[in-house]
Amino acid sequence: AGTIGALGDVLQEPKKNGATGVVYFVDHFFNGSDLLDRLPVGADDHVIFVDTTDEPTTDGVDAYVDQVKQQMDGNVAAVVGVGGGATLDTSKAVSNLLNNPGKAADYQGWDLLPNPGVFKVGIPTLSGTGAEGSRTSVMMNQEKNLKLGMNSDYTVFDRLVLDPDLTASVPRDQYFYTGMDTYIHCIESLAGSYKHAMADAYSHQALSLCRDVFLSDDMQSQENREKLMIASYMGGSAIGNSFVGVVHPFSAGLSMVFHTHHCVGNCIVMNAMDDFYATEVKEFRQMMERQDIPLPENVCGNLTNAQWQDLYDSTVVHEKPLINALGDDFKSILTPDRVREIFARM
Ligand code: NAD
Ligand code: ZN
């Protein structure tokens, strides 16, 4: 707690190379809050508030890159992201694009960036996605109707400031949904065929911290916020070294068809995953009950045939995690009827 006070020191290092400006991407929730007084914003620096009502898009990231280029005229020593997964992903992508030609969409995929980005610092204000530890930055490409990350070693933050004071203001439901992303990353990784000792070690430790937090009476106590912040980082590290499983592809389906946000989408899906993760689903429900968290219901009521088809297509397109979870022949398990029946339970 209080480590945000060290940010000024952290930023001395990149300034040694000549550039002096720092651009801060801060979640719009903090616009007008006293967190801004705790950031060492100087005369050469800019603060940009990120509207996180919707998840990041490639067009949105391109617009931020143009704005930074215009306002700072090449004088960028560091990019600092302060927020949840959406803001962290935005700042990672902008940092990369400041040192690489072209647009965000050019780099959606794996290992496409030729140059490292600008020095980047991640400061999570919401725990769970592991975006602070991962090598991806997830963006929606509206033109191609595709949600895909900029996966690269250059997408990893150079430094992190993990300060649990910053998560004190997170609304309860959001805290639970995003925190559960860690739980789900780890159970998916552990149940997959790509598992290995290193990813498993991160997963086991992160799960143990999640159980401490979500089976306790006060999931948002100072101690539990500290635990969940570390769990998130470890969960991100686990998944950065392995793959997710059945939950994330179904959640991506909800996201493509209904624009459901990542973390609440995962929770909706998890509640319908008895066939695949029976023990974990029981524990998930126990945590939800203990924390008295509601879940949206009947999310797939009254769909057209075209929408059912979209749901199916945008789920089974995620071959890597589905092969990890169910094997090469996953389409014989996830038939169109079975997928529809699973969505209908949500
Ligand atoms: P988010 O960044 O979308 O924010 C959710 C809400 O919480 C917003 O309304 C925001 O204003 C609010 N918020 C954030 N911090 C707050 C605070 N301290 N107090 C009060 N409100 C606060 O949420 P998220 O769940 O952390 O991130 C989801 C995003 O992360 C998605 O875009 C998803 O694609 C991405 N993601 C990325 C990775 C990765 O490895 N890069 C992994 C999983 C998910
Ligand atoms: Zn996730």
Say yes or no: CB of residue 173 within 6 Å of ligand 1.
no
Q: Whose CA is nearest to atom 42 of ligand 1?
A: 129
Q: Is 45 in the pocket of ligand 1 (CB under 6 A)?
A: no
Q: Going by CA atoms, what residue is nearest to atom 4 of ligand 1?
A: 84
Q: What is the DSSP string of 141-182?
A: ETTTTEEEEEESGGGS-SEE---GGGGTTS-HHHHHHHHHHH
Dihedral sign, Cα of residue 318, residue 263, residue 136, residue 29: positive
Percent of the chain with pLDDT over 70: 100
DSSP state of 29: G
Ligand 2 centre distance from Cα of residue 240 (Å): 11
**Cα distances (angstroms) measured from residue 114 to each of 118, 149, 302:** 13, 16, 46
Ligand 1 centroid from CA 86, angstroms: 5
pTM for the whole structure: 0.97
Per-residue exposure over 153-191, b if at least 16 CB sit within 10 Å of its own CB, e if not: ebbbbbbbbbbbbbbeebeeeebbbbbbbbbbbbbbbbb
What is the reported pLDDT for 212? 98
* pLDDT tens digit sequence for 254-310: 999 999 999 999 999 999 999 999 999 999 999 999 999 999 999 999 899 999 999
* Ligand 1 nearest atom to the CA of residue 126, by list position: 15
Ligand 2 mean position, distance from CA 236 (Å): 9
- Would the CB of 169 count as within 6 Å of ligand 1? yes
Ligand 1 contact via 131 beta carbon (within 6 Å): yes
Minimum CA distance residue for ligand 1 atom 16: 170
Beta-carbon neighbours within 5 Å of ion ligand 2: 181
130 Cβ below 6 A of ligand 1: yes
pLDDT digits (tens, 9 = 90+) for 71-122: 999 999 999 999 999 999 999 999 999 999 999 999 999 999 999 999 999 9
**What is the rounded average pLDDT for all residues in the chain?**
97
Residue 34 and residue 71: Cα distance in Å, rounded?
24
Q: Name the residue with the closest Cα to ligand 1, atom 23.
A: 84
Q: Is residue 199's pLDDT more than 80?
A: yes
Say if residues 336 and 312 touch (Cβ distance below 8 Å).
yes
Q: Is 93 in the pocket of ligand 1 (CB under 6 A)?
A: no
Could you give the CA distance from residue 262 to residue 248 in angstroms, rounded to a whole number? Answer: 8
